[in-house]
Amino acid sequence: MTLLQALILGIVEGITEYLPVSSTGHLLLTERVLGIPHTDAADTYAICIQAGAIVAVLGLYRARVIQILRGLAGQDAEGRDLFVNLVVAFVPAAAIGFLFDKKIDALLFGLRPVVVAWVVGGVVILATRGRKGTRTLPQIDVKTAALIGLCQTLALWPGTSRSLATILGAVLLGVSMPAAVEFSFLLGLMTLGAATSYKGLKDGAEMVQTFGWGPIVLGFVAAGVSAAVAVKWLVGWLQSHGMELFAAWRIGLGIVVGALIVAGLLPAG
């Protein structure tokens, strides 16, 4: 992997990680376009540079993170309740991902499944547009958190988007858009942090041996900077707009990539 390829992958990861368009799908497509072969090292790289996006959100939401830490120390009841809800929402995807990690990789890590998920996700956004919730972040209870967690399991299908599944799921459960976005981002810290740690411990040595530290560090930094910009933009956009823009992107990109696959210009796997 060249430094230019690492920079491109880092930027793509950072921009798409928290947007409802699927970072996994975009990274998979980018790797194919750049000619990077589908290997365990490449898959691990794509997941581990998420750490840059995690750091970006930690910085942007540091006040809420501090509140959660105060809750764990018994100094903030709201922070404690939020932490409990995040753990409850985290468990379903973590359990299913851990149990079926190899099967998911074998069956779904390819451009064809990603194209299907892009288009279906776009159609779902359009079918549910206009739905609004009113509940604030402190009003999310354990039952709602568990249901949001079940929605997050849908994102184990590459191309679905963890952000789309959790934000839209929360809104359909009556949570306001600002609260849904914030809960999704905080849940992402836990989910992405666990996935990054798991992959790093499992295949990190192979990743370093294959690519070296230079591309890894560059991808991490690029992902962090671009994620910070993307998150700030997304929060502002969703305050006064819906998700229709992302539906159009998903469906349009799915059609284009699908056509390229049929024409033999892109590999389906």
Q: The pTM is what?
A: 0.89
Segments in the chain forming alpha helices (H): 3-17, 23-34, 40-48, 50-60, 62-72, 77-108, 111-127, 142-153, 162-172, 177-211, 213-240, 244-262
| CA distances (Å), origin 151, targets 57, 91, 145, 200 | 21, 12, 10, 25
Question: 100 is written with which tokens?
Answer: 């079926």
pLDDT mean over 218-240: 90
User: How many degrees, rounded to 5, is the angle at CA 241 between CA 238 and CA 244?
Assistant: 100
Check residue 222 and give its pLDDT.
95
Residue 160 per-residue DSSP state: S
What phi and psi values does residue 173 have, to the nearest 5 degrees?
-90, 5
Q: Specify whether the CB–CB gap between 90 and 194 falls below 8 A.
A: yes
pLDDT of 31-54, one tens digit each?
989 988 878 888 888 888 888 988
135 strand-pairing partners: 175
CA atoms within 13 A on the CB side of 181: 20
Average pLDDT over residues 150-169: 93
Q: Where are the domains of the chain?
A: 3-262
Note the pLDDT tens digit of each residue in 97-149.
888 877 777 777 788 999 999 999 999 999 998 888 899 999 999 999 999 99
Q: Which residues pair with 175 in a beta bridge?
A: 135
Contacts of 263 (CB under 8 A, 6+ apart): none
pLDDT tens profile 61-97: 899 999 999 999 999 999 999 999 999 999 999 999 8
